[in-house]
Chain A
Amino acid sequence: MNLQINQHQINEIHELQLTGEVDAYTAPKLKEVMLPLTEKEGGTVVVDLSGIDYMDSTGLGVFVGALKSSKANNSSLKLRGMTDRVKRIFEITGLTEVMDIESGVKGEAL
């Protein structure tokens, strides 16, 4: 499986629309795109996960890294549109408590 990343930017808000799987093979690609965005002070990164049906722990690691980076750089990271399977692994790992996760399956653009 592959991962497709679509990027849009509106002012200081970067939106990433992900489709496919985030696993050990595709995680480096996501990291390469997402991490630099979280390093911009004051910026906002919104990641739409409604097209992701599988994520493994390496994929989750990219989000942990992005969370740490956004805290260190005063930017903000929001996740939205999680499918049940993806939501489950964020819940089990306790990350729902420390991440900004928009509930509801699909939301309109900000």
Chain B
Amino acid sequence: MDIQSCVEVRNEWDIVSARQLGRNMAKELGFGNVDQARITTAISELARNIYLYAGRGKICIEPIDQLGRKGLRIVALDNGPGIREIRKVMEDGYTTSGGLGAGLPGVKRLMDEFSIESTVDVGTEISATKWLR
């Protein structure tokens, strides 16, 4: 199995490639259909954020194994404007970018672990993990 695979995100089609990458890996790892759908939705949201706010960036998917506990991690990276108020974007009902409108709090709820780091004018790195049950 690949250690890490990444997809560059520059346009809306790349969102589909990122989803495909995530779905393949989720299937391989043995995630059920609901979790597959949740993982790909999380990927869509993160990729969409890159496309809408940073213009370009990448989505990386990696399998993880911590002391026999298996899971999948999504990492979204961009060198965009960064997020000034992380607390704000993590509030429900804050994002209004259209699309699913679920935003980052939604992604956080779809996944098991979630972390975000952002520096204004430097970029944003979001990582989200789903564990295999």
Check A-B contact in the complex, CB < 8 A: no
Using a CB–CB cutoff of 8 Å, the interface residues on chain B facing chain A are: none
Using a CB–CB cutoff of 8 Å, the interface residues on chain A facing chain B are: none
